[in-house]
Structure 1
Amino acid sequence: MNKNIFIVALLVISLLSCSKKEGSMVVQGTIQGLQKGTLYLQKIQDTIITSVDSIKLVGESSFNLVDNIKEPELYFLTLSDKENEKINFFGEKGTITINSKLDKFATSAKITGSKSHDLLQTYQEMADKFNGRRLEIIKESFDAQNAKDDELIEKLDKEFDRLVKNRYRYTASFSIKNSHSEVAPYIALTELFDAHISLLDTVNNSLTNKIKASKYGKQLDEYIKEIKEKEVK
């Protein structure tokens, strides 16, 4: 009887091993405080956010999700009862660990294991400083308008223009410096979409052949072509 139980146990373990999901990218981690819910691994396909894997969690907070990824690209981690809160991260081949908290699902996420995401975070830290100052100028300008301080309004308007230009320059410089990474065309598409075409051209021309042939490299090139076609018309 004991021998039969042992054989059955081995068969169960074997079946579980065979059914384990596999992929070139593994996303694992823990959502502290989560007791029940479905976690989705998503990405954009044909302009639509699509789930590529999911896991239903009951009485546990650890998860393991996978996808077969060819090149680094943006992914989302979404929880069933917090669909408006998404953890954005740049996925790539290998194991990526994401640890977060249920009550601060998106804002408390700690992501490790993706060099592409680390690079994006480096850019975002500086971008956040630009955004912070932009909001301050808007508030100061509003207060100046209420006080009818024309001199201060003019000064803040000039500072705002300089801030916008400096952000464009920094973004372009960062993309050019990291032209070997898929993050470069992604940043150009999301942060320089309304910049002068010459700036976009400069970034596009700096990309390595490998990155030009990537998903975001192709999208950037196509976007630039569309702008130029509209300018001709």
Structure 2
Amino acid sequence: MKNIIAVLALSVLLFACSSKKDGNMIVQGQIKGLKKGKLYLQKMNDTVLISVDSVALNGSDTFKLTDNVDSPVLYYLTFDGNTTDKRILFFGEQGTITINDKVDQFGFSPEISGSKNQEILDKFNQISKRFREERLDFIKKDFDAKKANDEDLIKKLEEDYKKLVRRRVLYTTNFALTNSDFEVAPYIALTEMYDASLQMLDTVNNSLPTKIKVSEYGKRLQEYLDNIKKEGNK
């Protein structure tokens, strides 16, 4: 009888393990050099980062993780090795997404394919990086000018910096408008258009088709704008 119970328990356990279904998003790839550890697929739930899937790697550096994606959002790929402070951030969506990286440079410059939203975000980040570098250059020049008490240069740098901010706002707005058919558009509006006017934000929001408006970031953008307008009417 004990043997029968043991067999039945084992059968149930095996069935439970084998019945795990793939989600509509598969994240697969290779982390070169990661021979032992546990990879986690995570995303934000309200303000809390939660794990939706995980896989233990023992002797193999390839992985496969899954989740059901209702609306494309940002995901995190992390692991419990020596670099727990590092992570790979990517736009998750339905389909198969491939991520390849190296354990010693984890999260620095991963190769990500299979996500159209991520592809668009990568293009935006390339230009955005140039703006950040220009801003850092301005900060250094401003520091040196103030140290030298050069009032003329300080005034010129202030004017040039305002022009840089305007260029960045215009570029970001136009980029979001150009890619309004993708969920990355409201995401960029929420995270990168902090210097933009309400009118510009409204322009981006009004350009979004219905399928994007009802997405996770589409709804957040609408809520954000509603709150701004509500506060402005007080």
Partner of 1:204: 205
Show structure 1 runs of 5+ residues with no match: 1-10
How do 1:66-105 and structure 2 match up within 5 A?
66-81=66-81, 82-105=83-106
In structure 2, the partner of 1:3 is: none
Letter aligned with residue 172 of structure 1: T
Partner in structure 1 of residue 59 of structure 2: 59
Alignment of 1:10-89 (within 5 A): 18-19=18-19, 21-81=21-81, 82-89=83-90
Kindly report which structure 2 residues correspond to 1:1-233, keeping only aligned pairs within 5 A, or say none. 18-19=18-19, 21-81=21-81, 82-233=83-234
Runs of 4 or more, structure 1, over 3 Å off, are 14-21
SS at match of 2:194: coil
Q: Distance in 2 between matches of 1:50 and 1:91?
A: 15
Q: Which amino acid aligns with 2:108?
A: T
C-alpha RMSD over aligned residues: 1.8
Q: Secondary structure at the match of 1:103?
A: helix
Cα deviations across residues 148-198 of structure 1 (Å, max 9, x unaligned)? 221111111111111111111111111111111100000000011353211
Deviation at 1:71, TM superposition (A): 2.5
TM-score between both structures, scaled by the size of structure 1: 0.90
2:22 is matched by which residue type in structure 1?
E
Aligned residues: 221
In 1, the alpha carbon distance for the partners of 2:230 and 2:123 equals 34
| AA aligned opposite 1:30 | Q
Question: CA–CA distance in 2 between the matches of 1:133 and 1:219?
Answer: 30
Counterpart AA for 1:136 = D
Question: 1:19 and 1:47 mapped to 2: Cα distance?
Answer: 31
Question: Aligned partner of 2:188: which letter?
Answer: I
Rounded to whole Å, the distance in 2 between the matches of 1:94 and 1:171 is 28
Q: How many angstroms apart in 1 are the aligned matches of 2:109 and 2:125? A: 15
In 1, the alpha carbon distance for the partners of 2:129 and 2:182 equals: 21
- Quote the offset at 1:21 in angstroms: 4.5
- Report if aligned partners of 2:165, 2:195 keep a CA contact under 8 Å in 1: no
Aligned AA for 2:200? L
- Identical columns (%): 50
**Partner SS, residue 96 of structure 2:** strand
SS in 1 for 2:27: strand
Tell me, which stretches of 5 or more residues in structure 2 are unaligned?
1-10
